[in-house]
């Protein structure tokens, strides 16, 4: 874990729970793509940079989930490296309480105010205000989170953040977090057409052909959608739909899973509703979902 792997003349990735990328801007300066899940990850990154004799010029945060920005604070404190991200993601970097609040739908209980859902606050600059050095390209990857993006290096290496999960994760957890299902499906279509030498998803093995993984993630999204439509042939409350999801996929509910899976199932219901496949009605002060 936390091994440095070279996949191009100037491009590397760090094997970790959420893979990080490194792009060498010149002989001594590098860009870091995401910073890991906590201060320990940040310290490990600092050690890797020191071993190579590299100076951290800046950080690109593909999105603001805690496991992608958790090392920011320590790297900024120790190395004075600015971070850049897109749109609302910058707000989540600065005010990490937003992540568990968004997922829970209110002020989060203390069990949700943990490092898995809340990174240490870090400064973040708008990506639009920054001129990328030659050799880097940004690609919006909507769906998983508010303003997630991927990064391509001139070595034809794509860092794809969380736009897809590894097949082992799909088989174990089934319901990976999605904010906007329609946008997520469109991103899978986009990624499937990318050309490159290496593809580095944050939560799947680095590979040279991304099409099978994109297909596996699309298949799981369509499977979950069909299950929800089948379960809601008769009107169902959200909490009943959520229990059916956990039971069907043999998932164990705890606070983190309740908000992550729960938020995702709400997104599926919204997607199916917008596609006119699911209707919603308020009856006897209950919101009931029913497939059309």
The pLDDT tens digits for 194-210 are 999 999 999 999 999 99
- Beta strands 286-291; 278-283: pairing state: antiparallel
pLDDT in tens, 223-266: 999 999 999 999 999 999 999 999 999 999 999 999 999 999 99
CB 49 within 8 A of CB 71: no
Q: Determine the Cα–Cα distance for residues 183 and 143; give it in Å rounded to an integer.
A: 5
Indicate the pTM of the whole model. Answer: 0.96
What is the pLDDT at residue 212?
98
Taking 90 as the threshold, does the pLDDT of residue 87 lie above it?
A: no
Q: Is the pLDDT of residue 191 over 90?
A: yes
**Sheet (strand 136-140) strand order:** 136-140, 149-153, 157-165, 198-203
**What domains does the chain contain, in order, with CATH numbers?**
4-221 (3.60.15.10), 231-291 (1.10.10)
Tens digits of residue pLDDT in 11-60: 999 999 999 999 999 999 999 999 999 999 999 999 999 999 999 999 99
* Best CA proximity match to 184, nearest among 128, 116, 267, 262: 267
* pLDDT computed for residue 129 by the predictor: 87
């Amino acid at each position: 874990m936390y091994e440095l792997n070279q996949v191009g003349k100037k491009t590397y990735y760090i094997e970790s729970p959420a893979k990080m990328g490194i792009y060498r801007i010149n002989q001594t300066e590098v860009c870091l793509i995401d910073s890991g899940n906590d201060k320990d990850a940040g310290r490990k990154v600092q050690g890797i940079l020191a071993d190579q004799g590299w100076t951290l010029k800046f950080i690109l945060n593909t999105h603001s989930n805690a496991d992608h920005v958790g090392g920011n604070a320590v790297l900024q404190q120790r190395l004075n490296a600015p971070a850049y991200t897109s749109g609302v993601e910058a707000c989540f970097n600065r005010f990490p309480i937003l992540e568990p609040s968004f997922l829970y739908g209110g002020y989060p209980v203390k069990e949700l105010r943990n490092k898995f859902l809340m990174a240490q606050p870090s400064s973040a600059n708008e990506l639009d205000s920054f001129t990328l050095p030659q050799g880097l390209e940004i690609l919006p990857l909507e769906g998983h989170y508010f303003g997630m993006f991927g990064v391509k290096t001139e070595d034809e290496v794509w860092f794809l953040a969380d736009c897809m999960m590894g097949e082992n994760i799909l088989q174990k957890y089934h319901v990976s977090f999605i904010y906007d299902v329609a946008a997520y499906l469109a991103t899978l279509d986009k990624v499937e057409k990318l050309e490159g030498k290496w593809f580095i998803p944050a939560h799947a093995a680095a590979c040279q052909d991304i099409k099978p993984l994109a297909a596996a993630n699309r298949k799981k999204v369509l499977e979950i959608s069909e299950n929800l439509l089948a379960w809601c042939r008769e009107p169902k409350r959200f909490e009943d739909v959520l229990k059916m999801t956990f039971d069907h996929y043999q998932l164990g509910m705890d606070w983190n899973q309740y908000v992550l899976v729960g938020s995702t199932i709400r997104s599926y219901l919204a997607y199916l509703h917008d596609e006119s496949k699911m209707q919603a009605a308020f009856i006897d002060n209950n919101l009931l979902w029913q497939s059309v």
